[in-house]
Chain A
């Protein structure tokens, strides 16, 4: 079945720096979703991308959907301590969502 691969698994970032996490699917996706899970918390929906090549921004977060709709990225600029957590991408798999392994972000002040 459809699998969603996500890298890197861990990202240790200096406060103020930028970083990117990548998501790749083995099949074309109708849409891709991103979630954030804070330590000890539950996943929270961030955004959904539907169109080929789509780019959406949420303050310092930039989400991109590839032209072939098989990959996506999340870029965070000027990382802050509030960005700590695990970011998951998820793609539809029939009626379900298939989650990537997640990128766990830690920030050093």
Chain B
């Protein structure tokens, strides 16, 4: 149980285009999902908390107009990287909790974004 599916697994896009990443909880409902960014050989950096039916909460330094988050249902959150630039190239991972906060996180497989 507690499977989180993330799509696509990897994407290459041209500078200036937008990329949408989907995160789905397959066998549970997730009122809250988290989006992380991970640079090579570094830890997980929380970008934003996605709340079903409300606006996402962004971490300090993360541009909300750059990284658009939509959590339209209890099983789907999307992250759109708008007007992507090479510096946005990274590994993006979503996660969700099955119950209350502080319960373990279940991660998607991640999306490796390369902007050329």
B109 partner residues in chain A, CB cutoff 8 A: 41-42
Contact A95 B44, CB 8 Å, known A33-B104, A42-B107: no
Q: A30 vs B95: C-alpha distance in the bound complex, in angstroms?
A: 21
B54 partner residues in chain A, CB cutoff 8 A: none
Contact A104 B41, CB 8 Å, known A42-B93, A92-B101: yes
Q: Which residue of B lies closest to A31 (CB)?
A: B102
Q: A96 vs B93: C-alpha distance in the bound complex, in angstroms?
A: 15
Most buried by A among B41, B43, B101, B106: B43
Q: A96 vs B57: C-alpha distance in the bound complex, in angstroms?
A: 11
Binding site for B on A (CB under 8 A): 30-31, 33, 35, 41-45, 48, 88, 90, 92, 95-97, 99-102, 104
B42 partner residues in chain A, CB cutoff 8 A: 101
**Does B49 have its Cβ within 8 Å of any Cβ on chain A?**
yes
B101 partner residues in chain A, CB cutoff 8 A: 92, 95
Q: Which of B80-112 contact A (CB under 8 A)?
A: 93, 95, 101-102, 104-110
Contact A30 B44, CB 8 Å, known A42-B93, A42-B108, A43-B93: no
**Does B46 have its Cβ within 8 Å of any Cβ on chain A?**
yes
Chain B interface category by residue count: 10 to 19
**Does B34 have its Cβ within 8 Å of any Cβ on chain A?**
yes
Judge whether B102 and A45 touch: CB under 8 Å.
no
B107 partner residues in chain A, CB cutoff 8 A: 42-44
A33 partner residues in chain B, CB cutoff 8 A: 104-105
Shortest Cβ-Cβ A-B pairs, 9 listed: A45-B104, A95-B101, A42-B107, A92-B102, A99-B44, A42-B110, A101-B43, A43-B107, A99-B43
Q: Which residue of B lies closest to A94 (CB)?
A: B101
CB of B69 to closest CB in A, whole Å = 15
Known: A33-B104, A42-B108. 13 other contacts (CB 8 A): A35-B105, A42-B109, A43-B93, A45-B104, A48-B104, A88-B43, A92-B102, A96-B49, A97-B34, A97-B102, A97-B105, A101-B42, A101-B43
